Structure 1
Amino acid sequence: MHDLIPAVMDARLLALLARWRGAAKGQAIADPVAEFSDHAPHLLVIEPEGSGNRYAHYGAAFARHFGADLTGRVIDVLPAEILPPDRRGMLEFEYTYARRLNLPLWRSYTAQFQGGSTETWQRLVLPVGNGTLVVGAYPVTDVGCDGSGAALLRLVINRVPVVLEDDGGISDLALSLRDFCDTQMHVAELEVLATRDSLTGVANLRHFHHLAGLELDHARRMGRSFSLLALDIDHFKSINDTWGHAAGDDALKAFVAACRVAIREYDILGRIGGEEFAVALPNTGIDGAKVIGERLRRQVEEMVVRPAKGDVFDLTVSVGVAYWGPSDQATPEAVAPDVAELLKQADAALYRAKAAGRNRVMIA
């Protein structure tokens, strides 16, 4: 098995592993980026951050291939479009496992990168002391003609992490293939439970604030507009009182379906209270936000709810709109409102819409 590793492991990772063995020698490495400077563009430095992990260094090759520089970002709060739940769970597992054993982990993974190309990368997780990890990763091309043993090893590292001994041999698999599959499914299920409203399937309050906050931060950095809609179903209590709570649940699900038709694919819809919802509108000025708010209001007004008992009723919604744009920032150092503040402004406009007769859109 010792002979198979040089045949399968990318030569650059072999060099990184040899450098790590020579540098670590059981001691902590104070500056991993300087120590492994030849690999810096393809290097991650992972530091513990509370119960999670933070990218202390994010190599330029990753920023280029994944389309984002995640330096300083905490892994377990990254949005799913940057790091899907299955990959996030696998990374957290690898990092915990490598720290516990204080041994390298080696694996490969295949993913879609910027531009839509699919590539296979090999990665090596190396403990460097004090809970810090160095991860080297390079794209590879598997020729597939180097013998059955090497082919089997390629298959294994593409499924589960392999634990390497200090002498260069393979110690063990980090987990069985069945455990790996079960873990992937479990992590994805937990991600849904933690971030989604159980009735309607949209983002819950906490996740909405997180996703909308990322978009607002991006708008500030890029000098783009950002708008937010606060939505409240009119006379919702009377629905529960008249037709029962099951009918109210049906109304909420029908309302969300209508909202999805009215908003764009990249807009963020969240449930922030009983019959209260919000929509984050990235790269959208006040005029565009009003158009979307009116389209949403009409979509809800035109729908009919048919609960299980056969009763039929309709809904209307009141909408408040809040907006932030580059022109609102007097100086580069000025602090823009956060999502909570914008939501407060949108709520104030929403209450004005209620007071004016409901079923209308008002601007903060």
Structure 2
Amino acid sequence: MAKDFYGELQLGILGGGQLGRMLIQEAVNYNVNVHVLDPDKNAPCRKLCNRFECGSLSDFETVYNFGKELDMITIEIEKVNVDALEKLEEEGVVVYPQSRVIRLIQDKGLQKQFFKQNAIPTAAFQLISSRDKLYDTSIALPYIQKLRRDGYDGKGVKKISSVHDIESAFPEPSLVEELVDFEKEIAVIVARNDRGDITTFPLVEMEFNPEANLVEFLISPSTLPLEVQVAAEEIAKKIASDLQIVGLLAVEMFLTRDGQILVNELAPRPHNSGHHTIEGNLTSQFAQHLRAIFNLPLGSTAARSNAVMINLLGEPKYEGLAKYDGVEEVLSREGVFVHLYGKKYTKPFRKMGHVCIINDDRETAIKNARWVQETLKVKA
């Protein structure tokens, strides 16, 4: 940016959850003033920012009024009012990632069309306007149905195994996607600044909670064949370049059993698949996002060590004031770093924190992570 922002820049974050919280923790190092808008009066960011405003992220006037006196706005969630961001851009407020990028990624149908138009490998798909259209698709059963808008953390996704499942399918506009026979789910986080510099973090391997359908266990760096790692990173770079995005972009992918890489979804912000970078890499994803949107040189993404990240999810059958069992026990083990998100209430499978486990020996890191997973529980 042309402005000397150190200690002067007024940065707004749309969303006050854990991603915003960790972004603020890094932004302190740049001495910027951080303003946060979130609909939850108890949002994790509320006590960490210079100014916290409780309000709707989807309301035009709320987002516009929040941002009109700021220098720059970024996001920690895509579900925001893009019309307000476009108006702010027109009036000189810098919005990164750009409003046009957010608008595209808000709609999974537009995402898929973008992949097709730019020769990005992805599963075969068809756009569907209503539930009735599911009875006659070009995609053979079984397939995956995804809502075009507002799905996240496994919500808005259904497997349709037979015609009988269509009765309980989503009625809203959606897309039907070929069921991918994948060997592993992988992800690459890529950063791009306004100069056009692009860097990627090393490929990570992910395990999903089968009940909640969200990332529960992540291993970095990957031990997949080098050609797979390089190919995935090149795909991520191409997407960032084609989008001309400024900021961070998480690219979630499938590695199929026959060795293909297919892009699943994008997230234009810091992402769950990059939390391990706080302890595991020379530059964290949060520092890299700030470097990118401030148009600073991008940091080295080299791994410091083997890192395993575990999401701390609210235990099934527990709902209410959060209680953390086993924190002292896991902290007694070397290389274990606990991050709690400051959420007052827990409920089943709610993301309440994460733990990063590092070790020079990969198998030891994985073994310690499995132990942490069994020892540290979020209850009520």
More strand by share: 2
> Which TM-score applies when normalising by structure 1?
0.24
> Which TM-score applies when normalising by structure 2?
0.24
Larger radius of gyration: 1
More helix by share: 1
